[in-house]
């Protein structure tokens, strides 16, 4: 397997759009470079890697070229895209693009993830197209990527792609970055069950998932917990296949490009011209793509309130509103454009006079040169999205203010507000707050403006877009070691075969099998757990061989174990080692215990169970368990911690111990565990083959008492004393089946 330090690794970027747009004009391809923050940021990162020789020449972009190109021109486009932009185009028909891009991406995911559920469309055919297009991207990527490369997938258009890629090339390292917010669970759950599960599973195909803010990452982890049931630890999720890291990477800008923009003579000339034209006015700037999430209407309303309340500023302040056309043809966007234009007309009609148009409105994209000039002449930049993953305009404005003057007013709903706390932060839903922020901004002394901007500039300079890309790619590359460590403990096929051979040749074997989890699946309803016939049959076959001593260990009460396994010649360990039973003997208790304490503990358990719907108490002879598998996970973990604290006060003077297990809190006597129980067997007979299979923290006691020659196996990837890991309970059962297929010798009556 490749190692990050061995040689430069190929990096493949997969995004909906390529670093260029192509259109067909009179049967000819016309290329236009795109200049978005992502494209420029990644391009500078790639350049710097090439200079440092840390990136393979094989790197490439994979994405949609910006328009539908029919087959006669496709070969030419492929050649040109590769030669000019190191890119591989993904071809989509108009219908595919319509239902995928305008449909599922921008009529379902975009509104929902920006907290506009009433704009969200739930249509089965759009979902099907989304799945299909993700597969088309996967096929296109698989033609290009090297099996040990790094693939960085971008944004909400391609949330199913990580899993599809991993299914085809398990050794690829796949990273995913979401540029928009990940909404809270209550909003995400509005998606139909199948869709929301597949989206989360699709994302969990990645080794690393990045978000702009910590909050979005937490929202994602919460949805994963509630919908798929995977817990996280320090942002790492262990799925049955591998580890997935969830991390925050706030995207930066190309700081130097903006900060040094005015050194360019053409930009300086444009700025000076603007400055002359606007010399009598204080200038407020508003720049965005046309989108309901950007809060353009609220901004205008806030400006209107400002004019209402501050007659002294009439004739002295203008707002330059630049709106970039976007998603033309989607009804909400067309409607919003009309509403904006009506409101601009209304404000200008109401307040304007000869020589003063309060709102100067432009509906078009502007080149970098003009944008930089606008940032430079504006005294205030007003950024009021209702929701925004990050918002780069705010950062670009601050970076361009080389002399440190200027005031940024920023919505608290933008990811950027987490980093730009020195801005004036507003709630965009409150037009009065916007109006007050504007009048305060006009009064901030220059020294104070500089103080604030310099703090923000230092941050933006340190964590620029190159650093963002480098951090992400480095962390992705580091996931190779994490996955290798996990893989290294996975039971390899060769060792599996050797285990079966050793088993075949041995004469006195003991098999310790944990029941619940390791050899069966835990269910949401613990009381419903049933042993299936096939599993009992395997245990039966193993126990029928007189060379074998089979011991089933469990935390469950002895009557349950007796009901399930009592008819088989197997040893039983109940209540985590409290009760032991040889295959031919009666139950015996491992040491003298009392159960008096239960009178005090059970009422405490009951009080907490009453407070938590879904929790219940299980009373055993010498222990008690508070289960919360079916309860709300967040509330449960809070209450479990509170209850544990409560119990610890009570148990400090006793030999009782409180354990936090897998979705349960258990109280039982100290010094009794599955390890002490196993020693009962191990000390009696000289075994030449010892095998133990377990899955949770209580099995660690078992693993730690085994001789060095023992085969110990943990199901799942939690850290463990066991020598090997298997991914799932089914894999553990498969191994046991292979052992059960080794021909047995017949057990004589009375032999054990």
Residue 388 C-beta: closest distance to ligand ADQ, Å: 4
- Asked if residues 235 and 350 have their Cβ atoms less than 8 Å apart, the reply is no
Among 4, 11, 22, 37, binds ligand ADQ (CB under 6 A): 37
Find where tokens 């925004």 sit: 388
Is 58 among the catalytic positions? no
Q: Taking the complex as a whole, how short is the minimal distance between the CB of residue 251 and ligand ADQ, in angstroms? A: 5
* Residue closer to ligand ADQ, measured from CB, 386 or 551: 386
- Minimum distance from residue 123 beta carbon to ligand ADQ (Å): 23
Q: How far apart are CA 365 and CA 324, in angstroms?
A: 5
Which of 365, 635, 657, 662 binds ligand ADQ (CB under 6 A)? It is: 365
Cβ-contact 189, 223 below 8 angstroms: yes
3-state SS class at 363:
strand
Give the nearest distance from C-beta 264 to ligand ADQ in angstroms: 16
Token pair recorded at residue 34: 């795109």
- Nearer Cβ to ligand ADQ (310/369): 369
Region near ligand ADQ per CB under 6 A, out of 296-304, 390-398, 443-451, 721-729? 390-398
Using the contact rule CB under 6 A, the part of the chain among 364-372, 514-522, 587-595, 739-747 near ligand ADQ is 364-372
Site size with ligand ADQ, rule: CB under 6 A? 20
Site for ligand ADQ in 285-344 (CB under 6 A): 287-289, 322, 324
Report CA-CA distances (Å) from 377 to 272, 300, 318, 403, 440.
Answer: 8, 20, 12, 12, 19
User: Is 89 among the residues that bind ligand ADQ (CB under 6 A)?
Assistant: no
Q: How far is the CB of 176 from ligand ADQ (least distance, A)?
A: 13
What tokens does 453 get? 């901007």
3-state DSSP assignment of residue 270: helix
Q: What is the DSSP string of 275-296?
A: HHHTTTSEEEEEEEES-GGGTH
Pairing of strands 236-238, 243-248: antiparallel
Sequence-separated (6 or more) residues with CB below 8 Å from residue 9: 2, 55, 56, 148, 149, 150, 477
Of 379, 396, 666, 696, the residue at the interface with ligand ADQ (CB under 6 A) is: 396
C-beta of 529: minimal distance to ligand ADQ in Å?
Answer: 46
248 binds ligand ADQ (CB under 6 A): no
Among residues 288 and 701, whose Cβ is nearest to ligand ADQ?
288
CA distance 387 to 323: 17
Burial code (b: 16+ CB inside 10 Å, e: under 16) for 446-459 equals eeebbebbeebbeb
Classified as helix, coil or strand, 411 is strand
Among the listed residues 77, 393, 580, 710, the single contact to ligand ADQ using CB under 6 A: 393
Q: Could you say which of 514, 516, 545, 701 is catalytic?
A: 514
**CB-CB neighbours of 90 under 10 Å:** 19
388 binds ligand ADQ (CB under 6 A): yes
Distance of CA 150 to the CA centre of its chain: 18
From the list 666, 669, 554, the residue with the least C-alpha distance to 602 is: 666
Which residue among 389, 406, 555, 716 contacts ligand ADQ (CB under 6 A)? 389
Cβ neighbours of residue 477 closer than 8 Å, sequence gap 6 or more = 4, 9, 150, 173
Encoding tokens for residue 633? 């996970």
Does position 392 interact with ligand ADQ (CB under 6 A)? The reply is yes
* Of the candidates 180, 173, 143, the residue with the CA atom closest to the CA atom of residue 158: 180
Q: Return the DSSP state at 91.
A: -
d(CA 142, CA 192): 30
Q: What are phi and psi of 533, to 5 degrees?
A: -55, -45
Strands of the sheet with 173-177, listed across from one edge: 87-89, 60-64, 11-17, 150-154, 173-177, 208-211, 243-248, 236-238, 232-233
Residue from 251, 409, 476, 615 that binds ligand ADQ (CB under 6 A)? 251
Which listed range, 47-55, 160-168, 363-371, 544-552, lies at the site for ligand ADQ (CB under 6 A)?
Answer: 363-371
Least spacing, CB of residue 294 vs ligand ADQ, in Å = 7
Report the residue number, 181 or 205, with the smaller CB distance to ligand ADQ: 181
Q: Which is nearer to ligand ADQ, 296 or 739 (CB)?
A: 296
Of 324 and 679, which has the nearer Cβ to ligand ADQ?
A: 324
Residue with Cβ nearer ligand ADQ (366 or 536): 366
One residue of 108, 120, 391, 549 binding ligand ADQ per CB under 6 A: 391
User: Which of these ranges, 1-9, 200-208, 283-291, 558-566, lies near ligand ADQ under the rule CB under 6 A?
Assistant: 283-291
Cβ at position 168, least distance to ligand ADQ in Å: 27
Smallest separation, CB 452 to ligand ADQ (Å):
21
Cβ neighbours of residue 111 under 8 Å, at least 6 residues apart? 117, 119, 120, 121, 292, 332
Place of tokens 């979705």: 663
Contact 284, 324 (CB under 8 A): no
How many CB atoms within 10 Å of residue 387?
23
- Our CB check for ligand ADQ shows the closer of 56 and 184 to be 184
The smaller minimum CB distance to ligand ADQ, of residues 175 and 675, is found at: 175
Binding segment for ligand ADQ (CB under 6 A), chosen from 388-396, 607-615, 707-715, 725-733, is 388-396
Instruction: Please spell the DSSP secondary structure of 227-240, one letter per residue.
Output: II---EETTEEE-S
Per-residue mark of binding to ligand ADQ, 540-579 (x: CB under 6 A): ----------------------------------------
Which residue number, 374 or 572, has a Cβ lying nearer to ligand ADQ?
Answer: 374
Taking the C-alpha atoms of residue 399 and residue 261, their distance in angstroms, rounded to an integer, is: 10
Listed residue (110, 126, 152, 665) closest to 333, CA to CA: 110
Q: Using the rule CB under 6 A, give the single segment among 72-80, 313-321, 392-400, 431-439 that binds ligand ADQ.
A: 392-400
Instruction: Give the SS3 label for residue 41.
Output: helix
CB closer to ligand ADQ, 326 vs 654: 326
Taking CB under 6 A as the binding criterion, the range among 11-19, 223-231, 387-395, 478-486 that sits at the site for ligand ADQ is 387-395
- In the list 141, 318, 336, 371, the residue contacting ligand ADQ (rule: CB under 6 A) is 371
Is 390 or 732 the residue whose CB approaches ligand ADQ more closely? Answer: 390
Q: Are the C-beta atoms of residues 105 and 130 closer than 8 Å to each other? A: yes
Q: Which helix (H) or strand (E) holds 501?
A: helix 493-505
Segment lying near ligand ADQ (by CB under 6 A), choices 282-290, 594-602, 635-643, 655-663: 282-290
Select from 144-152, 281-289, 519-527, 744-752 the region that touches ligand ADQ (CB under 6 A).
281-289
Q: Nearer to ligand ADQ by C-beta: 294 or 556?
A: 294
Near ligand ADQ in 163-192, by CB under 6 A: 179-180
Q: How far apart are CA 32 and CA 593, in angstroms?
A: 80
Strands 317-324 and 282-289, bridge-based pairing: parallel
Q: Does 464 bind ligand ADQ (CB under 6 A)?
A: no
Q: Which residues carry out catalysis?
A: 514
Interface contacts to ligand ADQ, rule CB under 6 A: 36-37, 179-180, 251, 287-289, 322, 324, 365-366, 371, 388-393, 396
């Amino acid at each position: 397997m490749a190692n990050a330090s061995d040689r430069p690794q190929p990096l493949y970027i997969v995004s909906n759009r390529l670093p260029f747009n192509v259109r067909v004009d009179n049967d000819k391809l016309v290329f236009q470079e795109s200049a978005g923050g992502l494209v420029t940021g990644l391009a500078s990162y790639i350049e710097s890697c090439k200079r440092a020789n840390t990136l393979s020449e094989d790197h490439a972009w994979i994405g949609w070229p910006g328009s539908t190109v029919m087959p006669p021109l496709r070969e030419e486009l492929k050649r040109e895209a590769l030669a000019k932009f190191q890119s591989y185009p993904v071809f989509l028909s108009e219908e595919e693009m319509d239902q995928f891009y305008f449909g599922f991406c921008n009529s379902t995911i975009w509104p929902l993830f920006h907290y506009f559920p009433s704009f969200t469309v739930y249509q089965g055919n759009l979902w099907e197209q989304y799945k299909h297009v993700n597969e088309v991207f996967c096929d296109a990527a698989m033609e290009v990527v090297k099996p040990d490369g790094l693939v960085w997938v971008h944004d909400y258009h391609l949330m199913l792609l990580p899993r599809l890629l991993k299914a085809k090339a398990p050794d690829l390292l796949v990273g995913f970055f979401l540029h928009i917010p990940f909404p809270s669970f209550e909003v995400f759950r509005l998606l139909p069950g199948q869709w929301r599960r597949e989206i989360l599973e699709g994302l969990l195909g990645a080794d690393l998932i990045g978000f702009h803010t910590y909050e979005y990452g937490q929202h994602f982890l919460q949805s994963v917990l509630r919908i798929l049931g995977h817990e996280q630890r320090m942002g790492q999720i262990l799925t049955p296949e591998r580890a997935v890291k969830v991390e925050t990477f706030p995207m930066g800008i190309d700081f130097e490009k903006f900060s040094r923009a005015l050194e360019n003579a053409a930009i300086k000339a444009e700025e000076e011209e603007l400055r002359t034209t606007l010399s009598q006015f204080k200038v407020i700037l508003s720049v965005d793509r046309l989108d309901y999430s950007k809060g353009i209407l609220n901004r205008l309303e806030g400006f209107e309130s400002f004019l209402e309340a501050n007659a002294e500023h009439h004739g002295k302040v203008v707002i330059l509103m630049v709106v970039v056309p976007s998603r033309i043809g989607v009804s909400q966007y067309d409607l919003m454009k009309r509403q904006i234009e009506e409101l601009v007309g209304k404000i200008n009609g109401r307040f304007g006079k000869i020589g003063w148009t309060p709102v100067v409105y432009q509906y078009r994209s502007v080149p970098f040169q003009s944008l930089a000039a606008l940032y430079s002449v504006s005294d205030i930049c007003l950024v009021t999205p209702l929701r925004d993953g990050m918002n780069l305009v705010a950062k670009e404005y601050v970076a361009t203010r080389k002399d440190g003057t200027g005031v940024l007013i920023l919505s608290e709903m933008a990811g950027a507000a987490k980093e730009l706390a020195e801005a004036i932060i507003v709630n965009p839903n409150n037009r009065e707050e916007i109006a007050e922020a504007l009048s305060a901004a006009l009064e901030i002394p220059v020294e104070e403006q500089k103080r604030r901007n310099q703090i923000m500039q230092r941050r933006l300079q340190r964590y620029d877009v190159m650093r963002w890309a480098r951090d992400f790619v480095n962390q992705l590359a580091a996931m190779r070691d994490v996955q290798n460590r996990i893989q290294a403990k996975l039971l390899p096929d060769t060792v599996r075969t050797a285990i079966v051979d050793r088993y075949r040749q041995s004469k006195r074997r003991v098999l310790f099998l944990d029941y619940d989890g390791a050899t069966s699946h835990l269910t949401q309803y613990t009381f419903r757990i049933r042993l299936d016939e096939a599993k009992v049959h395997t245990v039966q076959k193993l126990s029928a061989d007189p060379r074998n001593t089979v011991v089933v260990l469990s935390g469950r009460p002895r009557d349950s174990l007796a009901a399930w396994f009592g008819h088989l010649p197997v040893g039983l360990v109940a209540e985590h080692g409290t009760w032991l039973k040889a295959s031919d003997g009666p139950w015996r208790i491992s040491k003298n215990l009392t159960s008096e304490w239960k009178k005090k503990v059970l009422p405490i358990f009951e009080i907490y169970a009453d407070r938590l719907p879904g929790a219940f108490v299980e009373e055993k002879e010498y222990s008690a368990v508070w289960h919360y598998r079916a309860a709300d996970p967040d509330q449960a973990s809070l209450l479990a911690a509170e209850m544990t604290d409560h119990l610890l006060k009570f148990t400090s003077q006793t030999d009782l111990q409180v354990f936090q297990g897998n979705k349960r809190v258990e109280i039982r006597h100290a010094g009794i565990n599955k390890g002490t129980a196993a020693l009962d067997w191990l000390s009696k007979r000289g075994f030449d083959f010892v095998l133990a299979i377990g899955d949770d923290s209580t099995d660690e006691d078992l693993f730690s008492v085994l001789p060095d020659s023992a085969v110990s196996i943990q199901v799942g990837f939690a850290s463990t004393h066991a020598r090997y890991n298997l991914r799932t309970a089914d894999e553990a059962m498969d191994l046991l089946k292979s052992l059960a297929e080794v021909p047995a010798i017949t057990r004589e009556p009375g032999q054990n």
